[in-house]
Amino acid sequence: MRRLDGGTFLMGADDRYPEEGPRREVHVDGFWIDAHPVTNRDFAAFVAATGHVTLAERAPDAAAYPGADPALLVAGSALFRSPPGPVPLDDPFRWWGFVAGTDWRHPQGPSSGIEALGDHPVVHVAYEDATAYAAWANKDLPTEAEWEYAARGGVATEYPWGDACEPDGLLMANYWQGAFPWQHDRAQQTLKNDGVLTTSVGSFAANGFGLCDMIGNVWEWTSDWYGPAAEAPNTCCVPRNPRGGSEAASRDPIDPAGFARKVLKGGSHLCAANYCQRYHPASRYAQTVDSTTSHIGFRCVVRSSHAE
């Protein structure tokens, strides 16, 4: 883990996605944070010690999904599959599909494994799996503000490494290169390797705080309930250790009876210039707590008061 002293910083963005704004000053107290996302090796140690069975490894409870076809209520997870050619970008089902038998041990489908992926971020973990790991490790999940403060690495530039996305043509994080979702210019060999698109943690340079993969590779769970764009402070005081909205308000207004949503941060290997440009510290995404996918992982924190 890395120790961050905390401080006041500019959170959010005004010139990108509307849910990221407004840009505003917030303050976070000091905390420790994992230097990289939790890996398959880390998560395997947790499972060996506790016997934890992840959400994706259990058949869904029919009572939680009224009206669902019972034949579809089987253990599995959402898996990205690259189509053979260009497809409309308004239909995620062109590249996402639920695959039975897919879970953290089998990240690319039931016939895959993690034997060669020990240093890759664990994926196909639901929010409850991430919190179970954190509790076992005597840690917590970061708040959105803590996560973004850490991701910025102590600078106020567009990216943690500067204002250019790829300075001098150098790729600084693991995100999609080419025409999403079918053409990956810099990972053709990776695509042939059972579709594995994550990279080993630390494959790219750490930020100014010594933290790896805060941008790209996998989205990361935070402990905050998702809310709409933050409101600008209406007082003279800088908010201290802000938290997200309420569980009830986090539900999708189109489906208020659906599952509550948490904030994901950091973007992933599937973010692309032509589709989802969320490889920035301010990026945020609403994810239902029952969701598991091949591009979501997490890291943990220990707050100073907890550590001391």
Q: Print the domain residue range for 101.
A: 2-307
- Rounded Cα distance, 49 and 137, in Å: 11
As for how many domains the chain has, the answer is 1
- Sites in the chain below the pLDDT cut of 70: 186-195, 229-235, 305-308
- Identify the helix (H) or strand (E) that includes residue 24: strand 24-28
User: What does the pLDDT read at residue 190?
Assistant: 44
The 10s digit of each residue's pLDDT in 205-251 is 999 999 999 999 999 999 999 997 665 555 678 999 999 889 999 99
The 10s digit of each residue's pLDDT in 19-61 is 999 999 999 999 999 999 999 999 999 999 999 999 999 999 8
What's the pTM value of the predicted model, to 2 decimals?
A: 0.94
User: Among residues 221, 214, 268, which one has the least CA distance to residue 95?
Assistant: 268
∠ Cα 288 289 295 (to 5°): 75
Could you give phi then psi for residue 234, rounded to 5 degrees? -105, 20
CATH code (residue 179): 3.90.1580.10
